[in-house]
Amino acid sequence: QVQLVESGGGLVKPGGSLRLSCAASGFTFNDYYMSWIRQAPGKGLEWVSYISSSGFTIYYADSVKGRFTISRDNAKNLLYLQMNSLRAEDTAVYYCARTYIEVAGGERWFDPWGQGTLVTVSS
């Protein structure tokens, strides 16, 4: 079945770095766009970043632009999020999600989502 499994979360000091991974299985990874979304404790969902199937098109939320880098390895079915200059406000559960956008039609969604990995930024 289609599955996404995140890893790499943990406790890091402000200003530190962390790299998250998302392992995909059960579908043709290089056919799909992918996204990262985060959820701070007790808060709502915040989209973080998007990458096209080839990796050519990348978007970031303003809150992480210049600090986070999304990438993918289609040969290994892996999605990454390199997070630098981390701040306390980056503390959240980070989810990866398969992303579908039908350019000419209305079918657009994030599905499925991984189980999430917790990133805590604290001294």
Partner 1 sequence: QLTQSPSFLSASVGDRVTITCRASQGISSYLAWYQQKPGKAPNLLIYAASTLQSGVPSRFSGSGSGTEFTLTISSLQPEDFATYYCQQFNSYPPFTFGPGTTVDIK
Binding site for partner 1 (CB under 8 A): 35, 37, 44-47, 50, 59-62, 95, 101, 105-116
Distance, in Å, from the CA atom of 12 to the CA atom of 106, rounded to the nearest integer, reads 40
Closer CB to partner 1, 87 or 108, in the complex: 108
Q: Which residues pair with 6 in a beta bridge?
A: 22
We find the least distance from the C-beta atom of residue 72 to partner 1, in angstroms, to be 17
Name the token pair of 41.
Answer: 């404790």
We find the least distance from the C-beta atom of residue 39 to partner 1, in angstroms, to be 8
We find the least distance from the C-beta atom of residue 13 to partner 1, in angstroms, to be 26
> Which residue type sits at 109?
W
Distance, in Å, from the CA atom of 57 to the CA atom of 12, rounded to the nearest integer, reads 29
Name the token pair of 87.
Answer: 């701040």
Distance, in Å, from the CA atom of 102 to the CA atom of 105, rounded to the nearest integer, reads 5
Closer CB to partner 1, 37 or 79, in the complex: 37
DSSP 31: G
First to last CA, the chain: 40
Closer CB to partner 1, 105 or 123, in the complex: 105
Closer CB to partner 1, 19 or 65, in the complex: 65
We find the least distance from the C-beta atom of residue 43 to partner 1, in angstroms, to be 9
